[in-house]
Homo-oligomer: A and B are copies of this chain.
Amino acid sequence: MEVRLHGMWASPYVIRVIWALTLKGVEYEYIEEDLSNKSMAVLEYNPIYKKVPVLVHNGKPVIESAVILQYIEETWPDGTPLLPEDPYERAMARFWIDFGQQKSLTFFAFFLTSEEDKHKTAAQVLETLKILEEEALGDKKFFGGNTINMVDLFFGWLTYSFGCMEHISGVQVLLPKNLPRLHQWTLDFKQEPVIKENLPDSTALLEHFKRVTKHLKSSNKFNPA
């Protein structure tokens, strides 16, 4: 098969790629990786980071989800466009994806915050989300306007993760009250057929995040400070 995706079902980095390939109507073979015992393929294709997703197209690997999304857009330009046509609008889309990359630690810190820091962490998450709501989403239905684009796919994992974050951290973001437009976006995004049909199981996800959080906290592998 010419397109293969090495992934892991609960990864926010992988699901973006699944959505993008599905939106483009690209057929692919999916290989679920055991992250505690990665396949030789992942280690060979991604020796620098040894992470998923790895997209393999005609035998050649593309890694890092933001890079893969642009590759998909340029390789399969037909079908749903993932970026606007106008260069300025494209720059804005790339800017928000870059913003999400720079702020990713903020979101992950939410899972791993300590009891004493949890309100400070929640305030930082809210501040970041407020920028997204006011500056990136504005009055639009989606980040992409009337239809979803690469920015929606990039932040899409948030739409089903707030519940987990709140449950694990014990802090309420109160999205409907604090960020009503962003909250409406999470509802609209999950109603899109391609997204709706490709969402992780919420119960399994919560159990997964609990396990990962416990493991990271006990091994001190993550220091959000």
Chain B contacts for A95, CB-based, 8 A: 62-64, 67
Q: How many copies, total?
A: 2
- In the complex, A66 has a CB within 8 A of chain B: yes
Give A101 to B48 CA distance when docked, in angstroms. 14
CB of A51, distance to nearest CB on chain B (Å): 12
Give A159 to B66 CA distance when docked, in angstroms. 27
Contact: A48 with B91, CB < 8 Å?
no
Do A98 and B62 form a contact, CB below 8 Å, given A90-B74, A131-B48? no
Contact: B48 with A67, CB < 8 Å?
no
Chain B contacts for A64, CB-based, 8 A: 95, 98
- In the complex, A217 has a CB within 8 A of chain B: no
- In the complex, A60 has a CB within 8 A of chain B: yes
Contact: A66 with B98, CB < 8 Å?
yes
Give A62 to B48 CA distance when docked, in angstroms. 31
A108-126 CB mask vs B (1 if < 8 Å, else 0) is 0000000000000000000
